[in-house]
């Protein structure tokens, strides 16, 4: 049976399908939390970058066959970041996600949380529907590593890093630059691709550009 969708219905149909998938994720996982409790020290420029990353993350989640349900925690509607999100994201106020002033650590049982931070000793092996994955809403690379790891430790929450070291190798580049720190939308693209394909090399290829100084192991000739 070929399902033909009339052009005038297709947009509406796709919108309702997207909504259905997102609400399914809210009900049964996977769940992703963006911890926005550390934005008060950020400059206007950094807040704009973060708002742009939230927009891209939400956009790619909406397109996913198996989307995550997203929580923006530690997020107040009177903040500069909220203003930036409204300014930069068309329709931000009708995004299908949860916005709360509560901290992620008080919102969920601590044993369900996994804070994704490049400083963790543990490589993420799988995406578990019963866990809530946290990304720290920071854009400054120099503080991003330490802050998120310390925060997770203070609350005795499990941490994990993307398995970049397991599947990728450093490649030679002009500046001898190698970084495992990615923007939140890049981390999300990897998580999302892994959740759909169950294939880490394929997922990492999507989110880690060779500009970061890493390539997949088998692509080094």
Quick: pLDDT tens for 31-61.
Answer: 999 999 988 878 899 999 999 999 999 999 9
Range of 59's domain? 15-162
Upper half-sphere CA count for residue 194 (Cβ side, 13 Å):
20
Instruction: Identify the CA nearest to 135 among candidates 88, 190, 85.
Output: 190
- CA 7 from chain centre, in angstroms, equals 32
Render pLDDT for 129-155 as a digit per residue (tens, 0 to 9): 999 999 999 886 656 557 888 889 899
**pLDDT at residue 221 in the model:** 40
Could you tell me if residue 76 is inside a domain?
A: yes
Strands 214-216 and 168-170: antiparallel
178 φψ region: left (φ > 0), alpha (ψ -120 to 50), beta (else): beta
Could you tell me if residue 89 is inside a domain?
A: yes
Render pLDDT for 163-199 as a digit per residue (tens, 0 to 9): 888 877 776 665 555 566 688 999 999 999 999 999 9
Could you tell me if residue 169 is inside a domain?
A: no
Could you tell me if residue 193 is inside a domain?
A: no
Could you tell me if residue 199 is inside a domain?
A: no
Could you tell me if residue 195 is inside a domain?
A: no
Got the DSSP string for 7-72?
Answer: HHHHHHHHHHHHHHHHHHHHHH--EEEEE-TTGGG--HHHHHHHHHHHHHHHHHHHH-SSPPEEEE
Could you tell me if residue 7 is inside a domain?
A: no
**pLDDT at residue 90 in the model:** 80
Could you tell me if residue 204 is inside a domain?
A: no
Render pLDDT for 99-119 as a digit per residue (tens, 0 to 9): 999 999 999 999 999 999 888
**pLDDT at residue 101 in the model:** 95
Q: How many domains does the chain have?
A: 1
Whether cis (ω within 30° of 0) applies to the bond prior to 30 is yes
Domain containing 51 — which CATH number? 3.40.1280.30
Instruction: Identify the CA nearest to 179 among candidates 207, 151, 198, 153.
Output: 207
């Amino acid at each position: 049976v070929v399902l033909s969708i009339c052009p005038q219905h297709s947009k509406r149909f796709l919108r309702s399908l997207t909504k259905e998938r997102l609400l399914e994720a809210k009900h049964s996982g996977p769940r992703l939390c963006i911890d926005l409790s550390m934005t008060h020290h950020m400059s206007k420029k950094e807040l704009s970058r973060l708002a742009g990353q939230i927009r891209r993350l939400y956009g790619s989640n909406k397109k996913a066959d198996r989307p995550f349900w997203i929580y923006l925690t530690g997020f107040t509607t009177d903040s500069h970041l909220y203003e930036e999100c409204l300014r930069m994201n068309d329709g931000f106020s009708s995004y299908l996600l949860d916005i709360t002033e509560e901290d992620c650590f008080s919102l969920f049982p601590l044993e369900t949380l996994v804070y994704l931070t490049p400083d963790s000793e543990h490589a993420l092996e799988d995406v578990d529907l019963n866990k809530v994955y946290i990304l720290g809403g920071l854009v400054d690379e120099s503080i991003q590593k330490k802050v998120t790891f310390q925060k997770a430790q203070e609350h005795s929450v499990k941490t994990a890093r993307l398995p970049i070291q397991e599947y990728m190798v450093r490649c030679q580049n002009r500046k001898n630059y190698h970084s495992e720190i990615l923007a939140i939308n890049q981390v999300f693209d990897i998580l999302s691709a892994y959740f759909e394909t169950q294939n880490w090399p394929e997922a990492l290829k999507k989110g880690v550009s060779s500009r970061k100084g890493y390539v997949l192991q088998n692509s080094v000739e």
